[in-house]
Structure 1
Amino acid sequence: MTHDFASHTTGSKTNRRIAPPRVEVPETQSLRGEGGRQTHEWQQAGAAVGGLLRVPSVPAYWNAFEPSNWTMRQGTEDSYYSVDLPKDSPAFRQIVDYIQESISRAPYTSPAKEDARMQAVREDLSLENRQRLTPIQRKKLEQRLREGDAGAPSPPRSRNVEITRVECIANEALWERYATAVQLYRQSRVRKGKNGWTPRRDTMKLIKWARGEPPLIGARKSWSNVPLPESRMRECRLTGDPLGPGEAYLFHGTRPEIIDLIMEGGFKPWLAARQNKNSPEAPPKYGLLGQGAYFADSASKSMTYDRCVVCRDYDCVDASCLTPEGDRPVRQIVLSRVLLGNPDFATFYRSRRAQGVGVLPDGRTSVVSNGLRQAPFSLGASMMNEFLIKDRVLAYPEFRIHYRARKD
């Protein structure tokens, strides 16, 4: 397959011609992640097998768009391309159905004064940052610190939404890293014996998915854990691309300005701040699963982490934020391909809050908590499913979802 984003003019700037990444199996040293261990056992094993699979160049469905459809987005250090999925396209409909189904199946209300949100609010209100806020934003965030108290805002909750746009993101550098990691993982999950190649145990089957099946948006079951040619792998109806064991589409919620940075440079798990940084003498405290990039298989949970672009609150219902047409402001979340691979399962009786990005058992690629709501006997560390990666190469931010909450 070949693909080329031809040079075209957008405004006064001419976009550069870019070629698809032709990825070969690299040395494992090229996959070292900042802040974490330099190589992982699964990366070494995958490279040792070698040659079983070729990393695909770029997602096949990118070719469905004319070069002139793509818009170059210039970031602070690098650029990427984006294109809006047509609202009448099957891909747009499948994403909408996935989001709406996850909200209706698992509506979510965040715990009052959740650590991650309170830390973000205090950061915004710090002396260094508060001057950038409007008076309305400062007032809203100060009220948010009292969340759940008498007369204070209620914790944010999921709401029925209208999807206004779905942007597809084409970032060659990020895709190359992710596709290479996928190949190495697939090759690490097999071993050669007397009877040929046999699969290792597939621990992804132990995840209690919110929808009852892996969130692959169109795929109905998991795939063989034995490396197969692309022609024999199952196809994801969303993208038309082959997806292998260990992959899933997961949501991530954060502020729009952070989403901009993710689209440009990917997720950076080592930047997850400790929640008790004002107590440097104490052991570090991160999220429930430790330090890293967090994801959810339900949009309802991720939506409680994004912000109103007007007042910066997490659950804005004020009339002052409505558009002239009376609509609520558009908000955003990210839908990513994530290589969960061979996860390490978290439980409530063993805290992982002090574990940084460098702490992960050999052979494991991620941390997963089976939510107590989905699986009450799983002894998970959270009420709803949570997923964490500690290596930047394990996620590709593929879609930027623009939505607005419907009026109650």
Structure 2
Amino acid sequence: MVMHNCLNSRSSRSKSSFLVRLYFLLVFILYIAICLNYVSRLSGRTTIPSDDYPCLTCEVSGSIQGGETLSEALVLSGLPYKDVFEIVSSLSNILDMRSLRPGDRFFARFSNNGKINKFRYERHPWDGFDVERRGDTYIARRDSVPLGKCLRFLTGEVKNTLWESMINQKIPPVLVARLSDVFSYDIDFLTETRNGQKFKILYEEYIYKNEPVRIGNIVAAQYIMEDSSFWAFYYEDPSGKKGYYNGKGQALKRTLLKSPLNYKRVSSYFSYHRLHPIFRVYRPHLGVDLAAPEGTPIVAAGSGRIIFAGWKKGFGNYIEIRHDNGNIVTCYGHLRRFAKGIKRGRRVSQGQLIGFVGHTGYATGPHLDYRIKINGKNVNPLKYVAPPGSPIPRKYRDDFAARTHLAKMFFNEAI
């Protein structure tokens, strides 16, 4: 009996000893993992040698990583906390710290006494912010080199889709998107594009050291369809108002977008006598169903105030917006969910994200039920032409006419 208790005691002590060793092993592994993670964050950065060793470099460089603040990036590069605080404080007077982007570069230069005497934060080689030590303080200033600017002209023909045609011609994607935006109130490039249609674009290109670095405004553009031609001219009047206008000086921007989302097809049209896909009875369908993948972003067709955002019977998650002119209301049904901050009473701007495509309520698949009401009466969204924005003021029309005449002459000579 005594022997049995003794064996149990030894077994218990052995088990406890094993658990203690296992605990310390896990703590050691965790410590190593933390150290490796810290080292990995320092990879690619030049760090400062310790004061106990001779300084082998007088400059530290690095870049902002995803999710980092400027202070975090500088501290991880080994810069002294006090200098980091003073440099960032100085920069914050002329630089919005929320505008920092991953990949932005920074450089710190040290004097012989080990203090930072110059610092540079660089967004582009031609655009940066310099900080210089003067006595015991740091002074920040912006250092930007003016870019050269020239006009470029291109022309092309549509084969399959506008996007595919322009990309195949090595046209920058940003220019494709801007052309689509310019004509988005008059042309639905998802449904109205046909082979053989033509486009012409006169645009600005910015240059640094003889190399193109950025696309500027589209100065003028023409899109030629089978039976019609659309013009767009960029104009900024002496008062500072700017935008795109047609040849008559009428604003291309309208009260409502042509469509509040990028859809694949119209799955159900506006009708006063449609067979309901679920209940199999005929009833009015006073909107259009725009089929799109689940989660496709939906934007406000125009600026206004949300008058309803919630669950509405067969429409599921549903939004209504009363637009600024007062007599136009747009409706959005079957949403998967609302965008952040969308609620009754909230103002929204044209093109602002309001929700995502879903199939809540009575729906057989993901789509947006989109409706437009004018003075309380539903109209066909595919046929409705929204009112244009304000035209060019009369006192500036001669100046606008002269500019558009020059642009058209350029187009004719360039062909």
Kindly indicate whether structure 1 or structure 2 has the higher relative contact order, using CA contacts under 8 Å at least 6 residues apart: 1
Name the TM tier (shorter chain): under 0.3
From the two aligned structures, give the one with the greater strand fraction.
2
Highest Rg: 1 or 2?
2
